[in-house]
Amino acid sequence: MLWHKVFFCAVLSLLFGQLPQVSSKDVNSGCKTNFTRVGDKCLISSIQTTNWYEADRNCRSLGAELLSVQTPTQLEEINQWLSNLGQSYMHNFWTSGNSLGGKNGTYFWQSTGKEATYLPWAGGQPQPTITNCLMLVSSDIFMAYYRLWVFSCEASIAYICEHQPQNSTISTTTRICLNPASFEVVQVIN
Mean pLDDT by 10 residues, the chain (190 residues): 52 43 46 94 94 97 96 95 73 92 83 92 84 87 81 95 78 46 46
The reported pLDDT for the residue numbered 68 is: 96
Is the pTM for the entire model greater than 0.75? no
Strand partners, 100: none
Cα–Cα distance measured from residue 7 to residue 13, given in angstroms and rounded to the nearest whole number: 10
- CATH number of the 36-163 domain: 3.10.100.10
The reported pLDDT for the residue numbered 136 is: 94
The C-alpha angle with vertex 14 and arms to 13 and 18, in degrees rounded to 5, equals 115
Characterise 10 by phi-psi region: left (phi > 0), alpha (psi -120 to 50), beta (else).
alpha
